[in-house]
Structure 1
């Protein structure tokens, strides 16, 4: 699929402020599942300087710093991205990954961050074990069951602001926004010995919707398959319907904009606009 995406983010301040260095995550990842055809980013006010770099987890960061004062901070992004994966299960698992828990004798150092549970909760551990035992601890069947079960039994809500809920809170209430479901899914996978991380970006979704937004979902690392996405908001394994911008062990490290501002008593108001067009086929075929 060919995604054409326009994304505007605006912070309006109640008074004049000085912007500290800002970290922007708006550049899609380039991997076996997607490739970036074009990408443009503009910022107002004009930065005094900026640099492009990769963070520890391979996400592309634009760091911008500013001089002077402003009452508005605006980021405009335009991009075209081709998603490449047609089959969500086009892999052959390594033998040691067929049944849970997955041993990590050869990559123990690399996977530590993706197996770490910040505040393990017994209820979440039991919930994950129930889903795993129901499919005889088979890895792929567990992931499919967990994804489908959360889609069918949890209420999906839309919540524009705020950090993700704790896994326990989402499990207790059986409701949450996409980022809440993603965090719970990640914790369940880690409880069962599957490295997992939080991903954010864009989804095909309902192209007729008047209000589009960033989306969040979990990814798991499977020996023999690499990183693979599952979306409990929709109950499906991911192929070519999502564009990944950032993925990290912790949700905070995927935030599209992070950075301080300083101004006496000043507050900020966030506004955004996302437009997504999707065409079937490759760019060459579409042209």
Structure 2
């Protein structure tokens, strides 16, 4: 399948500001199941400098800097993607000890995965909720991950929230609802508490809609030896497929934001976004 993605982000300021350097994360990742055949960004005001860099998490990021004053910043990112057939269950966990929880990464893996293992504060209630699912899964790693995301999908309501950081895991657990990023951050808290390396992923998710209204989506990367990093979508209760298009992943959600940067000035701002995903 072939897709065209158009993502327009506009910041409107009520008085003139100076734009500090910005990092942009709109370029879809090249994966084993997605070829990025075309990508272009159009930025207004036009930057005086622009460079493609890799950030601390090896995400491909556009770094740009500006001159002069402005009352808006508009970023239009256009991508053309070609997907391949993909079976998310085509893997072999090795060593076999990782098929059963709890498991232990070796010392080198712990060092390399350190940030993705950093525990978040979660309550006993949330720990017990996950533990009950683990027991019913007979402590089998893949059965547990499959059942866990299904329960999160069934037990929590998904709601749209345009702005703001993810809620802490306990807040989402108590509310029994949250945005895709809230559910993903809660899942990360659960997995890290159980010694499983997990990262926050941001990107696009295409599925057929009668009246298309796409938004930036969030899910979770999990690391298992032999399998590598693979993805879980708690909002939909599934392992991700070839219509999940990642933009960035990091142990810290701040490093997956599509736009990172500051301004000089005292203006208030308004954010407008438009995301169109078309199957060609």
Unpaired runs of at least 5, structure 2: none
Q: Give the match's secondary structure for 1:20.
A: strand
Query: How far, CA to CA, are the matches of 1:188 and 1:83 in structure 2?
Result: 31
- Count of residue pairs brought into register by the alignment: 278
Contact kept, 8 Å, 1:207 with 1:277, in 2: the verdict is: no
Quote the offset at 1:80 in angstroms: 1.2
Q: Which residue of 1 aligns with 2:263?
A: 261
Q: Which residue does the alignment assign to 1:51?
A: 51
CA distance in 2, matches of 1:231, 1:250: 17
Matches within 5 A, 1:181-200: 181-200=183-202
- Which whole-Å CA distance do the structure 2 matches of 1:4 and 1:32 have between them? 18
Whether the 8 Å contact between 1:9 and 1:75 is mirrored in structure 2 is yes
Q: Match of 1:146?
A: 148
- Of residues 108, 112, 115, the one that matches 1:113 is 115
Unaligned runs of 5+ in 1: 280-287
Partner of 1:65: 65
Equivalent residue number for residue 161 of structure 1: 163
Deviates more, 1:110-119 or 1:13-22: 110-119
For 1:102 and 1:31, the matched residues in 2 are separated by 28
1:133 shift after superposition: 1.5
Distance in 2 (CA, whole Å) between partners of 1:53 and 1:183 is 26
Alignment of 1:1-287 (within 5 A): 1-94=1-94, 95-105=96-106, 106-263=108-265, 265-279=266-280
Query: Does the CA-based 8 Å contact 2:2-2:83 persist in structure 1?
Result: yes
Contact 2:201 2:220 in 1 (8 A): yes
Structure 1 residue 229: deviation in Å? 1.0
Q: Residues of 2 paired with 1:229 and 1:138: CA distance? A: 18
Change (3 A) 1:42 1:239: same
SS of the residue aligned with 1:259?
A: strand
Deviations 1:139-175 (A, max 9, x none): 0011101110011110111111111000111111110
Distance 1:123 1:85 in 2: 40
TM-score scaled by structure 2? 0.95
Cα shift readout 1:204-244 (whole Å, capped 9, x = no counterpart): 13443342210111111111111111111111111212000
CA distance in 1, matches of 2:126, 2:111: 25
